[in-house]
Amino acid sequence: MKPGYLLAMMIFCPALAHAEIYKAVDADGHVTYSSTPLKGGKKIILEPLPTMVPPARAASPEDFPKVDGATQKGRDDTRRKILQDELMTEEKLLDEARQKLKEGEAAPEVYRGQDGRTYRNVAKYEEKIKTLNDRVEMHQKNIEALNTELSKLK
């Protein structure tokens, strides 16, 4: 074997630099690992973990298109405008959803029984309120996400 290969193996092969490991299990089932022999323990042989060198990061090619500062600022301004428009729309939708929730809470679901009396349909009412609450929460989350995106803009 050539000396260069031997040197490379010694440097890159983790199997050459490992300790012996022993495993013992007591009567209660407790497992103990040690680097020194244990009474009733057995030596375990561990295969080395596979390793690899991370790939080198390629540099951008010279002809890769670049954007000047003014163009990027224009793009950022356009993005900000779009996000602000979306935010205004979501805020309107949130107001509408809250109004519908308020109206839904004020109008219980009822039905007329065979005896002619009026009864409340609690299950249908709760389902309606849950749907309306879900819409309010969705618009609140959308507003939160839009505000987060706006805060990230320079």
Secondary structure of residue 44 in the 3-state scheme: strand
Report pLDDT digits (tens) over 60-71.
788 888 888 899
Q: Which H or E run contains 25?
A: strand 21-25
Q: What are the average pLDDT values for consecutive 10-residue runs of the chain, which has 154 residues?
A: 51 58 87 86 84 82 85 92 96 97 90 86 92 96 95 84
Q: Label the pairing between strands 31-34 and 42-44.
A: unpaired
Q: How far apart are CA 77 and CA 70, in angstroms?
A: 10
Specify whether the CB–CB gap between 41 and 34 falls below 8 A: yes
β-pairing verdict for 118-120 and 110-112? antiparallel
Say what the pLDDT of residue 63 is: 80
Collapsed DSSP state (helix, strand, coil) of residue 119: strand
Instruction: Give the angle subtended at the CA of 126 by the CAs of 125 and 129, to the nearest 5°.
Output: 85
Q: What is this structure's pTM?
A: 0.54
Contact 22, 33 (CB under 8 A): yes
